Amino acid sequence: MSQISNLCSKFRRRIDGMVIPAVPVPFNARGTIDWEAQEKYAAWMRKQPIAGVAVWVHTGRGPFLTPVQRAGILRSWRSALGKGRVIVAGAGCPQNERDITRATVRMGEEAVRLGADALLVFAPSGFRGARDQDRKIVEHHRALAKLGVPLILFYLYEAAGGIAYPPSLLRELFEIEGVAGIKMATLDSVITYQDVSEMIGRNFPGQMLITGEDRMLGYTFMRGARAALIGMGAACTKLQADMILAHREGKAARFLKLSRKVDALAEVTFIQPMEGYIRRMLWALALSNIIPMDACYDPWGPRIPYADLENLKRVMNEIGELQ
C-alpha cells in the first residue's frame, strides 16, 4: 500500500461513524473576527464527541478570508483540538482568480503547511459548462492529490455554486489515488444522493460516503453515509453525534427520536435565503451561551429577518437544546 493510500485508510477510520462540524467564523458588526469568541467556541467544541472540524469550507467562508485570517483560524482549532482530532480544510478558488487550479492548489498548500489532515475540494465551478469540463475537473483533482494528504470530493448542488458530476466523471475521480471519499450536499435531490450511494456501495466500497445533507441527515445514514461533515454540526453538536451513534448501534427507537429533533433544527436553519444558514448557526451558538450575540455576523451573508431568530429559539427550546 502506498503512503497516500495508507493515509486515506487511517483518515477513514478516524472519522468513521462521527460528525465533523463545518465551523463558522464569529465576526462582529465591524466585519472583523472576534478572536475571543473564536477561542471560547473552540474550547467548547473540544468537549464535544466529534472526529474533528472542517475549516475554510463554505460555512467558514474560506475563499473570502485573507491568508492571515485563514492561518489564525486553523491554528486556533489545532491548538484547541490537539493532534487527536482531524482538521479538514477547504481548498477552493476565490472568485477573482483566473487560474482556478493554481489558486486552489495554493490554498491547499497553505492548509497542508499549517497542519491540515485532509482537504475538502470545492467544486471548481469555473469549469462549469466548458467543452472539456470533465477533463479539467479530473486534472484539477489530480493536481491537488499531489499535495500528499487525503482528498474529499465535494458534490454540491449547482444553486450553491457546485457542479453536477455525472457517473462517468465520478468514476474517474474515485480512481484518483489519494481520494478518501465524497461529501454529498445536494439539498433537495434525494435521487442524486441515492444514485451516488448505490454507485459507491456497488463499485467503490473502499470509498467513504460522507453526508453533508443537513435537511435529511438521519435518512442519509440509512442510505450508506459513514460520517457527517455538516454546517449544522457547528451547534447542537452532541445531539447530532448521538443520533449517528444510535444508528451505528442499531438503536432504532432512539435513532428515530433523535432524528426528529435534528430535522426540527434543520428546518429552521437551512431555509431560504439559504446563505443565511451561517448566521443562523452562529445564533444557535449564542443561544447556547457559547459565543456572544454580537459575534454572530456574517459579512458575506444576506439580510435575514428577526423572525428567523425567534423560530430558532423556539425550536431549540422544544428539542431541549436551549440553555
Return the CATH number at 187: 3.20.20.70
> Quick check: is 289 in a domain?
no
CB atoms within 10 A of CB 157: 18
Q: Whole domain around residue 109: which residue ranges? A: 3-250
* Domain total of the chain: 1
Partners of 228 in the β-ladder? 19, 211
> Quick check: is 311 in a domain?
no
> Quick check: is 230 in a domain?
yes
> Quick check: is 286 in a domain?
no
> Quick check: is 146 in a domain?
yes
Per-position pLDDT tens, the chain of length 323: 799 999 999 999 999 999 999 999 999 999 999 999 999 999 999 999 999 999 999 999 999 999 999 999 999 999 999 999 999 999 998 766 678 999 999 999 999 999 999 999 998 888 888 889 999 999 999 999 999 999 999 998 877 778 889 999 999 999 999 999 999 999 878 999 999 999 999 999 999 999 999 999 999 999 999 999 999 999 999 999 999 999 999 999 999 999 999 999 999 999 999 999 999 999 999 999 999 999 999 999 999 999 999 999 999 999 999 86
> Quick check: is 295 in a domain?
no
DSSP class per residue in 129-161: T-TTHHHHHHHHHHHHHTTSS-EEEEEE-GGGT
228, 19 Cβ separation under 8 angstroms: yes
Looking up cell 493536481, which residue turns up?
A: 143
199, 167 Cβ separation under 8 angstroms: yes
> Quick check: is 181 in a domain?
yes
**Which residue from 72, 74, 79, 75 is spatially nearest to 90, judged by alpha carbons?**
74
Task: Starting at the earlier edge strand, list the strands of the sheet with 118-121.
Answer: 19-21, 227-230, 208-211, 179-185, 151-156, 118-121, 86-91, 52-55
62, 72 Cβ separation under 8 angstroms: no
141, 179 Cβ separation under 8 angstroms: yes
